[in-house]
Amino acid sequence: MKKILLFLLLFISINKVYAIDLAKNSKSTVLMEASTGEIIYKNNENERLAPASMTKMMSLIIIMEQIEKGYLKLDEKVKTSENAASMGGSQIYLEVGEEMSVDDLIKGICMASGNDAVVSLAEKIAGTEEQFVDMMNSKARELKLKNTNFKNSTGLDEEDHYSSALDMALIAKELVRHQKVLDYSSNYEDYLRKNTNKKFWLVNTNKLIKTYDGMDGLKTGYTSKAGYCLTATAKKNNMRLIGVVMNESSSKIRNSEMSSLLDYGFNLYKVNNLVKKEVLFLNIVILRVLK
């Protein structure tokens, strides 16, 4: 038992040295084990930064809760308002008066990061986007997020709209509890407006869905203020990790650093549902040393 423990502690200490250089271009970084919320790696995790479209993870929490409570149905049609259709940035090009199902709108949010899609659902749920944002901030308080404030549902740059890598990881941890959302975020490509002359091809903005084993979400983001951001989640060997990088200089660097961050976690840490006291003790030791 002592020899095994010594080996594990040595292994962890060696990898902690390597961890210093993880995601070195990211301004705020977190790697979390999803079921426990244990932090495996962190750097400037509480710095308040523009979160760009990672904001939509909180919007999706509200949306999924409304569906689970029966207030919103996946096959329900939502009519596009002039306000929703006017959203710039990433969009699925909704037209004023166009009706689209809740199911397809969620696809548009999770895969294409559609600002028009999320505002349409925000207005459907709360009447106005402003009232929906109140729901988002109420949920942030419920989750005890200390460095988050939302001014919109999209993540477009706006004064006093901010979050941190730690808060984004906690939002992601809450979102993956609604497992249905992973059915959308794990798809690399799909179509909207099928069987019409306006068929629209969706390609996931998270390219790691196609290249990183076990990746099934969650949300990319980019604005001139926020830089390139990503909250990603992957599951291997009965363990789900959540990684967050913020304010990266390019999508290529963002994806590379996220892959290295997740590799580090999967190589170092293992979750076992075992009853043997010795094994349980070793898992607890690993968690504590990593803090």
Choosing from 113, 120, 153, 163, the catalytic residue is 113
CB atoms within 10 A of CB 12: 16
What is the 3-class SS of 74-108, one letter each residue?
CCCEEECCHHHHCCCCCCCCCCCCCEEEHHHHHHH
The reply to whether 113 belongs to the active site is yes
The reply to whether 13 belongs to the active site is no
d(CA 267, CA 248): 24
Choosing from 42, 56, 107, 124, the catalytic residue is 56
Choosing from 26, 28, 53, 163, the catalytic residue is 53
Active site residues: 53, 56, 113
